[in-house]
Structure 1
């Protein structure tokens, strides 16, 4: 009987020590998540940039960006542009389907000549955070553009892909993108309409770039905003990962305000009022990265700023039943028709850029 009682006390002691360990670990995790980590975020600009841009996430792995064919793109060349800030930008030029035949261009000059003499629309793609220009969902979209017989230019901002690893900032990626768009406008020289397509963070980039250029009366034929947010403050607040923190009294002071103070704002709802070309917003209801409500907020802000001009601002709401989420609007069955209709309407209205 005594040994049984001793055994019972031993088991109780083990359970007690285990529960005590669980409590200690939980307290440490709680202090780390709700105390130490937020303070590190508030006072470290480097941490803020890393979390926002996610440029340290390199995927797909093992891809040679100098060879677009390794990700299934035919009729493409890799090249590099050097900006006026001396930043090297890795870039792909992808030919429309009608120009892909058995004898593909053999030189940089022949590829560029096809762009200079383009008669079909040219799309400039600005990607979101993480990964690079070879990420699979981006490649799917390029291939769709290619099937629609459009020229495509896509590139990696500084510190992404094989572009120069230099300090990241909002104005840094804006300046990179502005340089590429101005280069493209000069190369095409009004021979074909140019459209800009931004996805996720790229919607904040493209909106800001086009607002800057519009002040100099330089405008592309149209802008597509795929899965956009209205401004970074709202995106940070509404992001799923923020939901456990957002109701805490220090959330805005610790998380949102430091980004704003460090000029990481991406205020598309302000910039969009300055954009002069037609705008198409595309957003899926089941987007779990940028909530659909933020795309609606941007649409409403654009309508107010542009006087509810339905020819200037359009929005396509994609039902959640399609399961396309944040990345795969490129698979939406009606997307080719939507793109072609918007391109046709916008191309007719496009006026030559003043250089």
Structure 2
């Protein structure tokens, strides 16, 4: 320890000499920086619900930029139509309906009514709920749509309030859940008895888990649920996220960073909701995921197993090795994914 103190002192002397500052001034500056980093910033996060919502949802990260959502073909999505749904009074969400590849040849110059009717023609519908940052037009999301449409599924993807071309309203847990339920209601109004599969990625895994939990309690769940790179609850995710490493060992970390999440309406708790879900469940997670570490997905899987009832449908977790390099957003590149997903959905339809 004494060696580290001497090294720190030497570094301060070198910096002071370089900038022509007296050592006392440099020490004062260092103390001020420490106060800002370890007291001011954590206090702002604790007390400001707006900051918490911005950091959890990251709606201000606009990527990719300059997307014309009315022309998804410019993003490589032929056979796709853009439209908007009213989630609540004055709040709209932007939606893409991506056709199965087998219907692509029929889609030229078709209107929204034609797309709505196509939902009832028998092919399963996957409702995709994305994670934070960016929009439904991010590259890895479009790549996943392409995988799913080649398997013969409709894909309904959308942006929550506050994202992309949806209404510029600050997202909350209640708000994004309402947005997801609005999209599900739209699909059900047009698909008849066609099976619906909910797919949630990253933060979207928790949004979808909360929604499917509510629908299950109401007695009207979807056919199946797929969670890609999920976490068990937002508090554990904040503790494990790379952005919080600098504060992780400080006293009162939980008080500063997780103590008021429920009050700010960002308290996602998938591990509490999962006990109400009894439809077939598939979890996909890469072991080299740094954004949502693998052990959090494993915790959710274990919780699902613990709470399954005698009449519950199967729950399965597929892990991908570190050597695959899929990390947080590249599971769609696995050559195994198409077969895994198609077999899971096929089995789910016959349970």
Cα distance between partner residues in 2 of 1:96 and 1:57: 30
Q: Which residue of 2 aligns with 1:268?
A: 270
CA shift for structure 1 position 39: 0.8
CA shift for structure 1 position 291: 0.5
Moved more, 204-213 or 306-315: 306-315
Cα distance between partner residues in 1 of 2:40 and 2:344: 49
Q: Which residue of 1 aligns with 2:250?
A: 248
CA shift for structure 1 position 189: 1.3
Task: Name the TM-score, length of structure 2 as normaliser.
Answer: 0.91
Cα distance between partner residues in 2 of 1:133 and 1:25: 44
Q: Which residue of 2 aligns with 1:128?
A: 131
Change (3 A) 1:19 1:275: farther
Cα distance between partner residues in 2 of 1:119 and 1:131: 32
Name stretches of at least 5 consecutive residues in structure 2 with no aligned partner. Answer: 1-13
Moved more, 271-280 or 50-59: 271-280
Q: Which residue of 2 aligns with 1:3?
A: none
Cα distance between partner residues in 1 of 2:15 and 2:93: 64
Cα distance between partner residues in 1 of 2:26 and 2:327: 37
1:237 to 239, 251, 261: 239
Change (3 A) 1:92 1:27: same
- Structure 2 residue matching 1:258: 3-state secondary structure: coil
| Alignment partner of 1:38 is 2:38 | no
| Alignment partner of 1:26 is 2:47 | no
Cα distance between partner residues in 1 of 2:101 and 2:81: 14
Change (3 A) 1:19 1:127: farther
- Structure 1 residue matching 2:262: 3-state secondary structure: helix
Cα distance between partner residues in 1 of 2:18 and 2:90: 63
- Structure 2 residue matching 1:160: 3-state secondary structure: coil
Q: Is the 8 A contact 2:229 2:285 kept in 1?
A: yes
Cα distance between partner residues in 1 of 2:214 and 2:312: 23
Change (3 A) 1:186 1:16: closer
Q: Which residue of 1 aligns with 2:163?
A: 160
Q: Which residue of 1 aligns with 2:7?
A: none
Change (3 A) 1:131 1:95: same
Pairs within 5 Å for 1:314-325: 314-325=316-327
Pairs within 5 Å for 1:94-243: 94-101=98-105, 104-115=108-119, 117-190=120-193, 192-243=194-245
- Structure 2 residue matching 1:259: 3-state secondary structure: coil
Change (3 A) 1:253 1:70: same
Cα distance between partner residues in 2 of 1:201 and 1:35: 28
- Structure 1 residue matching 2:105: 3-state secondary structure: coil
Cα distance between partner residues in 2 of 1:167 and 1:340: 36
Task: Name the TM-score, length of structure 1 as normaliser.
Answer: 0.90
The C-alpha deviation readout for 1:245-293, integer Å capped at 9, x for no partner, is: 1221121111110213323211000101111211100000000100000
Q: Which residue of 2 aligns with 1:56?
A: 60
The C-alpha deviation readout for 1:47-94, integer Å capped at 9, x for no partner, is: 111001000000001111121111111100000111244421100000
Cα distance between partner residues in 2 of 1:171 and 1:13: 51
Cα distance between partner residues in 1 of 2:190 and 2:208: 19
Cα distance between partner residues in 2 of 1:208 and 1:12: 52
Moved more, 166-175 or 105-114: 105-114
- The Cα RMSD (Å) is 2.0
Q: Which residue of 1 aligns with 2:260?
A: 258
The C-alpha deviation readout for 1:127-160, integer Å capped at 9, x for no partner, is: 0001011011100101111111110100000111
| Alignment partner of 1:286 is 2:274 | no
CA shift for structure 1 position 110: 1.3
CA shift for structure 1 position 26: 3.2
Change (3 A) 1:180 1:103: closer
Q: Which residue of 2 aligns with 1:352?
A: none
Cα distance between partner residues in 1 of 2:17 and 2:38: 30
- Number of residue-to-residue matches in the alignment: 337
